[in-house]
Structure 1
């Protein structure tokens, strides 16, 4: 179900890291729509939707940034290997302190948050979904 109650909220200024120590600033990703997916290796519905997210990332590479953020705590290397096998286009970003989970008040994984190119929230979606079908395309068309 789509939640639009935070529509227009500014993207948080969090910095994420991967197992290699690379960093990405969420606020620095403005410029094209951003789909942030909070997931975990132990979450069966999360794992099930990874291939569709990977296909979406491939199909919309120039017009949409798909950012998967693992909620696995203390298992950075495991997350990287897990994604490499299942969704090689998705980068293994980590949220080891669950700061994003707290910020978004997330209680269910997967949770996906969609931002427009200006870094304003469009909607949130709780639960798994097929991110590479026509309905998802209609949802993603809401961002300018």
Structure 2
């Protein structure tokens, strides 16, 4: 009985422990993003370094991801009403087929720039093993925070989070 209790406790403790393994090429919080050329989905391809100079919000998503679909409207509102001069919002799709990603974007009506990560470079660099993933990056390209799962990005709580991370008044 004592052995069975130990095995059960061990299994429960293991299940509650966060996974420590990350992709070997992942840039963690505090690290600086490496250069990457991102394939344009809604416009031309661009280098990641072209976004330096002001804070950047990157949202990793896929057209087949329900939570990604749910949060896209709030990202659009955030980019229109709070972005622009203060920060930039971009989306990066991990879809296998660009036509699926484009169809979703057309349906959702987003206007901020989107790219497609067909070679999984950005997915691996940002650690997007779970989507949606939203990454806050400072003006010098340093990762400030990573948020997995859907959020209402134009909510007062999210705006406070973004303002604090970027040290700007929202």
TM-score after normalising by structure 1: 0.87
Q: Please, which of 34, 39, 43 is the counterpart of residue 17 of structure 1?
A: 39
The structure with the largest strand share of the pair is 1
Q: Is the 8 A contact 1:16 1:93 kept in 2?
A: yes
Q: Please, which of 23, 26, 51 is the counterpart of residue 29 of structure 1?
A: 51
Structure 1 unaligned segments of length 5 or more: list them: none
Cα distance in 1 for residues equivalent to 2:41 and 2:166: 31
TM-score after normalising by structure 2: 0.75
Q: How many residues in Structure 1 have an aligned counterpart in Structure 2?
A: 139
Give the C-alpha shift of residue 37 in structure 1: 0.6
The structure with the largest helix share of the pair is 2
User: Which digits, 9 at most, give the CA deviation of each residue in 1:57-82, with x for residues without a partner?
Assistant: 10122211111000001x22332232
Larger gyration radius, structure 1 or structure 2:
2
1:72 aligns with: 95
Matches of residues 1-144 of structure 1 in structure 2 within 5 Å?
6-19=28-41, 22-59=44-81, 60-73=83-96, 75-141=97-163, 142-144=165-167
**Larger relative contact order (C-alpha < 8 A, sep ≥ 6)?**
1
